[in-house]
Each structure stands twice: as structure tokens, then as C-alpha cells.
Structure 1
């Protein structure tokens, strides 16, 4: 008889989500506006800190799309994007008819390499195509090299669109991820550190940008008694029901972060005597990761696949690290700057079960597979 599946990162409810949902039903706020939407945005603004303005949207991808629009990205523009990421980071570039330019990672945080970033910018400028924006990602909850990346971006006056889909609760030098970009985004997909079942948010330090985001996300309806539209709009606003789930989730966010970090410590302990495996961790105390997913690097592709299949055999989900965007068939013709760090990470890396709801029994099953394998 098969054992119950252990998921990589499953939703984890706290209990009060139902209260906010029931209130929405009671008051008939079954719409993409209402007290929960407003309340969820305020909760996030308070969490992220002073000068944070949040617009709750239907997904993190929607937030990236609206972010690019408000940074002025149009058809034919070039946008630099971290290659080592999920496809949602890059897809909105194409939505705008713009051209992705992919940049390699560095080995400490696995995020966009400041050196390769500057090389890409200089080469594109030399060829008469200065990039319009830079999409930098805090991968698996690990902050990118914020000071170095922003220094390059500011030097060439290119705005950073900060993809914090995986890093709510992470900090760099004590400042929350999601507050470093000209525009930043969050995700509340079902596998994220908190969820609204599906959803995201755009974060900015400008009330004007927030208002423009909500305008575009609600079909860009002009201020008129009839339906009048002077701009192309989108159906990107978060529903009041989903926002109710988010309000309940915000009450337990810090607890979830603590549990995820405990899972990372669990893996560090298990692998401490296995020299052929390294656990992804902060490079120094300037970085604080929520460890949304704990990941390891093995010696080679063959070992990684053998371990993945060993977990799969006993119904435990693991997953290879993100396949770099410049290796994806859909982006095969795009330019790429860097060496082979992202490729190497993909070949050798594996994400392990990291949920905040994993039990002692789950951990023992995971540990047994690892001990038996090595």
C-alpha cells in the first residue's frame, strides 16, 4: 500500500482564513473589491514597512506584466531577466512584445550576477539597444546581491523590477525583500509561503503607481457614468474571497517562515556528514532567507536524478532546480550573457520538501531515504 504523498510545498492554513471568507459571504462581497482586498493590502503594507503601497492582483505574473507596462516597456524594447528562474519572470516581457535578454547567476545566492549584468548592459548599449528594465529575482527566498545589482542598475539608469514571488519575509541588511525595486512583485500561489489559492501583488513606493495599477487591473475604465476606455485594461484584480484567505494567512506568516527555516536546519543537520552534498544557505549574516524551498547541490546530474527517483519511489515529491530560461525551447533564440553557472546549478541541484506543515513522521521518512541512499 502506497504511503501518503509528501509534497514539496503544500498550502498550510492557519484557521482564521474561514472567518474572513464567511464575512465576505455574509456581506455579499463576492467581487474583485471589498473589505478583504483593502485589508489584505493594508496588512502587506504594514508588514513591508514605511512607504510601501500594495495592489492585490490575480497573480504574481499579472503584477510583473503591469510593472513592465508602468516602466514604459513597449514592443521592440529589450528587458534583461535573470535566466535562472521560473518562466513567469520572463513571459510578461513577451506579452509586451519586448525582447528578453538573459543573464547568468552567481554562485553565492544563485541570483543574477552583477558582473554578467554589467557586461550585458554595456554590450546592448554598444549595439544601440539600451535595456529598458532589469528583472532580478530572489530565488527560493534568497535575496539577490541587492547593493551590487542596484549599483549597476543606477549607474546606467535602468529601473529594477524586483521579483519577490518566492521571498516574502526574507531580508537584506534588515530590509524586507519586495521593497528594493522601482516596482516589486509578490506571489501567493498555492505553493508559496502564504497563499490566497492564487494571487499576487504589486508593491511600489508611490501612491500614484498604486492607483494606476488598480486602474489598469480593473479594465482601465475611465471616470464616466458609462463604460468608457482610453487605455487597454486587464482583468487582474484579486477577488475579495481570495483576499480573505490572504488576511488569515498574514496572521501566521512569521510562523510559516520559522517552520521553513527549521526545515533548512533539518537538512543542514542531515547532510553535515555527507561531503558530496551542500545545502543552499545564506552567504553571510547580511542575508536572511525565508527558505521557501530548501535545495541541495550534488556531485553531478546522475546522482541528482538517482536521489530524485529514490524519493519518487516512496511517494515523496522533489524537483530539479529551475531550468534556465535561455535553455528553454520557447526562448532558444534569445541572447544570453554569462558562463555556465545557471546550467551547472540546474544539472546538480534538487529542491527538497520544505512545507511549514511537515510532521515529525514526514521528516523521518525523508531522512530515511537520504540515509539509505548515501
Structure 2
């Protein structure tokens, strides 16, 4: 059977015209008019004043943290339920992550626990330098209380919107409500440049500094002079051309992913033990990935067995992120809460969600889930076959 992947690139055909422009002008080296245009168009699309196109979302977060002053010994609060790239840039700068649990209503970090953490650190006289808010799986975190408590304690608010392009929060765009925000254009995201990222801010000087740091921090001189350490983090002109074509179909891609979610929800509505990632009341969930949790008692088997049996049908599904406070590399670091993120990881599964999935492929996934459920309900005398190794 043809493999159904979790989330694959989806080209519109419009990208090729911009790439041809880059080749025709011979702007193949990094930077160039496609980068400039992509930055302008992206900033306009999300409602930010300024943007800097970079080589990855991780590079963007690394720069964002440096720009807000994170350095050796600084503590940075960050969502626990996320991919490791939300936390590792803190360590790049010599900082120390401290993790915050999720709340059930959106799966994003819990504002009450953020307040508790800041109150605790304030009493001890050592407030964290920043808070990294991750907008998870295409849904915005609850930004108003987070922005209020960060402002009260003078903590920089950095938004990791790598997974949330196309989402909304009370009409605003995740990634544009803090001091600085970042996005990812990795191959599995809602739109892609193959590899790439974007840093946005309303602070013109901050974005100008990001551009300097991302081009090896070269000083303005007729020769190569450097007065500080920089990085090779700029996006290439060719990849920016792809991004421009992708940006034109952003809304189409979001609607397709939301339609995937709705297809699965309706097709599997009668099966007990499946609970879908909720859409919070404050805005639109882009449904970058369709996520659910499995109640083994009601469904008949657990998340991991379901995943393995889908793999037997050549269908890629993945567990929800393993929380950062459970990762060996971060062992012993502080965490406020943890039980919600641990439960979501233990029972959570991401189904194939690409905007280019056909109705036939979606039906095949839904039918495979239903088949697992039916087999799980068989009497003990008719055990399920073991999944393939």
C-alpha cells in the first residue's frame, strides 16, 4: 500500500515563477530581492511591522533570545509540551530552561502556573530573563494573561509560533503579541521553504540587529570587520522565492487542514475513547496536525498499539511531543506542574494531516482506526494479531 505520511510539502505551482525570477536575475547566493519581498509580504500577512528571513525556526528563536538579553546563567521559562527546539536555544546561550505544564483547554502552557512561577522567583529575588510561549500544533496559547503577568514582572515575552501560522487569537496572529516572535517553514509545516524561518517584531531596531547578527555580525566597513560574534543564519534568495509562492496559498492550506480534522472527527464520531484536541474559545486553530487522545479502557487498546497497527497499514502517525521535563538532556531542571503534559504524551497521537491528502487517503486512515477499534473489542478468545516488528 502507498504510504500515507504525517505532513508533506504541498506546492501550489506559484512558487516556480518566483524561483525562475531568482534564476533569471542570478540571485542564487543568500539574500537578494526575493528575501526582501518575502520579509515585506510575510510581515504584512501576520500584521507585524518588521520581519527577518532566517535559515530555520530554531535559528530565529536563538536570535530572539539573544536579542532580549538571555545570557549565561539566565533562567528562561518555556512550555514543557513542545519540540526540543523550543528549549535548546536557551542552552546555546548558556541559559537554563525551566518548564511549565499545559492546561487542558488548549494543550498550551498554563497561565496560572506561569504566574505561580514568577511569583516564586520574585520572592527569591531572581526573576527569569524571558518566557518562551509555544503555540502548540496550530493553536494559540492564551496570550492576554501571559502578556499581563510578563509586563508586571518585567519578563521578556518571546513567542514560538513555529507550529501556529494561520491561527488566530482574538483576531490577532500568534507570534505578533510579544516582544519578538518566530515561525518555521520546515518541510512539514503549513507552508514551507524546504527549510527556513522568520523572526518578527514591531521593534525596528531589534529586527535590524537580528539581520546583522544573522550575517556574521559584520560591521559597516569596506573590509571584513567584526566587533561581536554573529551567525550564518540568513535565508537564501531561492528559498525565499519558494516562500513567496507558499504565502499566497496560506489560507487555502489552513482551510484544507481544518477540513482534514473535521473529516476525521465526523468519520470517527461513534467510536468511544477518542478525544480530539480542543479548539479554544479565543481563536482559530489552524489544525497544523490533527491530534487526539486515546482512552484505552473505552477504546480497547492504548495509543502506542494504535500507532503500531496504523504503521502496519503503512500509515504514519506520531505520539504527541514528549514533554521537555521528561527528556534525559533536561533531567533535574525545574518544572511547574507536569501531570497534564505527561498524560497528553502518554495518550496523545497525531494523525496524517497534510493539506494535500485526498479524500481516499483520509478515508483509509479513518477506516484503519476503526479496524483497530473493532479488533480491540473482540473477545479474549480472538486476540488481536501482534503488530509487525
TM range (shorter): over 0.9
Q: Secondary structure in 1 aligned to 2:131?
A: strand
Shift of 1:229: 0.4
Q: Where does 1:145-294 land on structure 2 (aligned, <5 Å)? A: 145-284=142-281, 286-294=282-290
For residues 137 and 125 of structure 1, the distance between their equivalents in structure 2, rounded to whole angstroms, comes to 23
Equivalent residue number for residue 382 of structure 2: none
Contact map agreement 2:181 2:200 (CA 8 A) in 1: yes
Structure 1 residue aligned with 2:39? 41
2:265, 2:325 → 1: CA distance?
31
Aligned-residue offset at 1:207: 1.4
User: Match of 1:171, SS?
Assistant: coil
CA contact (8 A) 2:61 2:182 kept: yes
SS in 2 for 1:185: strand
> Which residue of 25, 28, 32 maps to 2:26?
28
Structure 2 residue 132 is the aligned partner of structure 1 residue 135: yes
Provide Cα deviations, 1:138-181, integer angstroms capped at 9, x if missing partner.
10011101112112212212111000001111001111112111
For the residues of structure 1 that align with 2:17 and 2:131, how far apart are their CA atoms?
Answer: 40
Residue by residue over 1:8-36, the C-alpha shift from the partner in whole angstroms, topping out at 9 and shown as x without a partner, is 01000000111111211111101221111
Structure 2 equivalent of residue 103 of structure 1: 100
- Structure 1 Cα separation of the partners of residues 105 and 278 of structure 2: 9
Kindly state the Cα deviation for residue 339 of structure 1 after the two structures are TM-superposed.
4.1
Which residue of structure 1 aligns with residue 311 of structure 2? 312
1:353 equivalent in structure 2: 352
- Structure 1 window deviating more from structure 2 (81-90 vs 151-160): it is 151-160
- Secondary structure of 2:120's counterpart equals helix
Give the 3-state SS of the residue equivalent to 1:175 in structure 2: coil
Q: What CA deviation, in whole Å up to 9, does each residue of 1:35-92 have, x standing for no partner?
A: 110111111011112x421100000000101001110111001000101000000000
Partners in 2 of 1:64 and 1:42 — Cα distance?
20
Is 1:77 the counterpart of 2:74? The answer is yes
1:52 aligns with 2:52: no
Matched-pair contact (CA < 8 Å) for 1:52–1:179: no
Task: Give the structure-2-normalised TM-score.
Answer: 0.93
What is residue 385 of structure 2 aligned with on the other side? Answer: none
Alpha-carbon distance in structure 2 between the residues aligned to 1:152 and 1:270: 41
- 2:83 aligns to what? 86
Runs (5+) with no aligned partner, structure 1: none
Q: CA RMSD in A?
A: 1.2
Paired position in structure 1 for 2:17: 19
- Alpha-carbon shift at residue 128 of structure 1 (Å): 3.2
CA spacing shift, 1:331–1:300, aligned 2, 3 Å: farther
Query: Residues of 1 paired with 2:266 and 2:178: CA distance?
Result: 35
1:276 deviation in Å? 1.1
- Corresponding residue to 1:115 among 96, 112, 129: 112
Greater CA drift, 295-304 or 359-368: 295-304
Report the alpha carbon displacement of residue 275 of structure 1 after superposing the two structures with TM: 2.9
The CA distance in 2 between the partners of 1:370 and 1:82, in whole Å, is 30
Runs of 4+ residues deviating >3 angstroms: none
Cα deviations across residues 160-205 of structure 1 (Å, max 9, x unaligned)?
1000001111001111112111100000000000000000010100
Q: Secondary structure at the match of 1:269?
A: helix
Partner Cα separation in structure 2 for residue 283 and residue 223 of structure 1: 47
Is the contact made by 1:17 and 1:246 (CA closer than 8 Å) also made in structure 2? yes
TM normalised by structure 1 equals 0.97
Larger Rg: 2
Gapped runs of 5+ residues in structure 2?
A: 374-389
Alignment length, in residue pairs? 370
Secondary structure, counterpart of 1:267 in structure 2: helix
Q: What is the rounded CA distance, in whole Å, between the counterparts of 2:218 and 2:338 in structure 1?
A: 46
